[in-house]
Structure 1
Amino acid sequence: MTRIVQSLAEISAPYDALFCDLWGCLHNGVAPFPEAVAALQGFRATGGKVVLLTNAPRPAPFVIATLERMGVPRDAYDLVVSSGDAAQDAMFAGAVGRKVWHLGPEKDAGFFEQIPAEWQGQAEIERVSFEEAEGIICTGPFDEISEVPEDYRARFLLAKGRGLPMLCANPDIVVDLGERRIYCAGALAALYEEMGGEAMYFGKPHPPIYDLARRKLAAIGGVEDGRILAIGDGINTDVAGAVGEGIDALFVTGGLAVDQFGADPEAPEAELLATWLAARQQDPLFSIGKLR
């Protein structure tokens, strides 16, 4: 049964690296959580490495720029590895063709414009209209504030009829932007699959993002899987992904599922948590109300 802890420092000694989620753990999409920042800084002060492992659909440089604007200090982490990074590799390898229709907000344009060094000089990926496309790159709704997956049913019906594969750059279903819950690319991809379309995933809980994180971590000092702790508030992404990779997990209960574990977001009730986890057939090694 999961062990409820009060702080990261209480359990961090056996670990040399963290794979830490962003939304719901380190920030709420608007501002960082000071106690979470301090916890990561404290871990790094003991010699540990912090990899921010996020399902953001943008490549790492754009995620870092967002963190800086938000006020997350650079000494809280060593690396950022995003779903966008892993999905980019698949796109440039031609997973959904060379002519693609981008389903997502314009803020995600960096997915196409920031070409990784290893793909420089290779065959180009061209953003085209839906009618010309060989495949779909989905980074989220066009308008993530007001749109829902059902808004795309008619377009998806046409896409399925043409056999267009979809590359989903963010497997998350929803995230909390401040006090507002918004849909992510994963919700659109789930609808497309439900309708009979083909969707491919490269972020958590799927292996490509973990393989990429290990490679980048190895470049700054390799760490065995048994010495890595994954932290996240997504039971089907952060926790399931860690378990699938043989990595210990710290589940942050005060994130996406905060209303399931009692009145105090920082103190989940053990019985409610155990019942909820059992219903989802998940048993993270540790749980905590808020990362601190």
Structure 2
Amino acid sequence: MTQIIASLSDVSDRYDALFVDLWGCVHNGITAYPEAVAALQAYRAKGGIVVLVTNSPKPRAGVMSQLADFNVPADAYDTIATSGDSARAAMFTGAVGEKVYFMGEWQRDEGFFTPLEVIDNPVTISRVPLAEAEGIVCCGPFDTMADPDVNRADFLYAKTKGMKLLCANPDIVVDRGETREWCAGALARLYTEMGGESLYFGKPHPPIYDLARRRLAALGKDIPDSAILAIGDGPHTDIAGGMGENIDTLFITGGLAARETKTDIHPDLQPDAEALNAYLEKEMSSPTFSIGRLR
């Protein structure tokens, strides 16, 4: 059974590093949560390392720019590991071919196709219509409000051609302020359900955790998994991923599950214990700790 805590400082002294989700934990897709920023700043002031581990399809530089726009200061974190960078590395090694059909918003996701210097002998990637493609690169829906089923016809064609779908963001949904939007993970899930093959690189899958550990190593830090705490609001991404890596987890109940855990109606923005345990049992999730908001 998860332990409900009042603040990050209740348990943070046990850990040398944090793997922290962004959307729903540090910001809401529009602006930062001040208490979350303050908690991370206080943790770093005591010598802790904060790695932001996000399922954003953006490269690390793009996430840094976005964080500045959301008023998340640079002193709230040490480094960033993105699903996008992990997926890009696979794309440039030819995981889904050289001619790819791109799904996403080009103005937002163009940076995904910027070559990676760390890849030896990268393949040359070109964007082509679906009929000419060898595989699919999915950074998100063309329309984040449209039901993923609108892609069924294209996915049926792609499946019959044996195309693999590279998913740059395994999240199913995300809340931008008060609006819930579909993410690339919803499309990859549909493609898999239809019999296609989807390749995942973000949480809860191992590649992004390997990247996060490499980010720690690049800081000169050799921190065992037992001294890392993974924080996030997604039971099937952040929490499942941490559990799969044998990393302790802190579930932010006031994010995607705010209503189900009754966090949204609690005067202190904390989860109702009974509702929380019922939700976790339903989702088959077992976070080490839980808290309403990162604070």
TM range (shorter): over 0.9
> Conserved in 1, the CA contact under 8 Å of 2:17 and 2:228?
yes
Report the equivalent of 2:58. Answer: 58
Offset at residue 120 of structure 1 (A): 6.6
Question: Identity over aligned residues, as a percent?
Answer: 57
Question: Could you tell me which of 284, 288, 291 is aligned with 2:291?
Answer: 288
Number of aligned residue pairs: give it. Answer: 290
Q: Distance in 1 between matches of 2:134 and 2:122?
A: 18
> Conserved in 2, the CA contact under 8 Å of 1:99 and 1:128?
yes
For 2:18, what is the secondary structure of its paired residue? strand
- Deviates most, 272-281 or 209-218: 272-281
Offset at residue 121 of structure 1 (A): 5.4
Offset at residue 194 of structure 1 (A): 0.9
Report the equivalent of 1:277. Answer: 280
Q: Distance in 2 between matches of 1:280 and 1:142?
A: 29
Report the equivalent of 1:78. Answer: 78
Q: Distance in 1 between matches of 2:112 and 2:269?
A: 36
Q: Distance in 2 between matches of 1:282 and 1:141?
A: 27
Q: Distance in 2 between matches of 1:151 and 1:281?
A: 30
Question: Runs in 1 of length 4+ with deviation above 6 angstroms?
Answer: none
Q: Distance in 1 between matches of 2:109 and 2:54?
A: 15
Are positions 1:157 and 2:165 aligned together? Answer: no
Offset at residue 2 of structure 1 (A): 0.6
Offset at residue 22 of structure 1 (A): 0.4
For 1:18, what is the secondary structure of its paired residue? strand
Report the equivalent of 1:99. Answer: 99
Q: Distance in 2 between matches of 1:83 and 1:261?
A: 27
Q: What residue identity is the alignment partner of 1:200?
A: L
Offset at residue 71 of structure 1 (A): 1.2
What are the superposed Cα offsets for residues 10-38 of structure 1, whole Å, 9 maximum, x if unpaired?
A: 11001010000000000000000000000
Unaligned runs of 5+ residues in structure 1 are none
Report the equivalent of 1:109. Answer: 110
For 1:175, what is the secondary structure of its paired residue? strand
Q: Distance in 2 between matches of 1:222 and 1:203?
A: 22
Q: Distance in 1 between matches of 2:45 and 2:59?
A: 27
Are positions 1:245 and 2:245 aligned together? Answer: yes
- Aligned residue runs from structure 1 range 123-202, under 5 A: 123-144=123-144, 146-202=145-201
What are the superposed Cα offsets for residues 33-68 of structure 1, whole Å, 9 maximum, x if unpaired?
A: 000000000000000000000000111110111111
Report the equivalent of 2:227. Answer: 227
Report the equivalent of 2:31. Answer: 31
Unaligned runs of 5+ residues in structure 2 are none
Offset at residue 85 of structure 1 (A): 0.8
Are positions 1:268 and 2:271 aligned together? Answer: yes
Offset at residue 119 of structure 1 (A): 2.5
Offset at residue 118 of structure 1 (A): 1.1
TM-score (norm 1): 0.97
Q: Distance in 2 between matches of 1:90 and 1:39?
A: 34
For 1:190, what is the secondary structure of its paired residue? helix
> Conserved in 2, the CA contact under 8 Å of 1:141 and 1:148?
no
TM-score (norm 2): 0.96
For 1:51, what is the secondary structure of its paired residue? strand
> Conserved in 1, the CA contact under 8 Å of 2:135 and 2:163?
yes
- Aligned residue runs from structure 1 range 43-54, under 5 A: 43-54=43-54
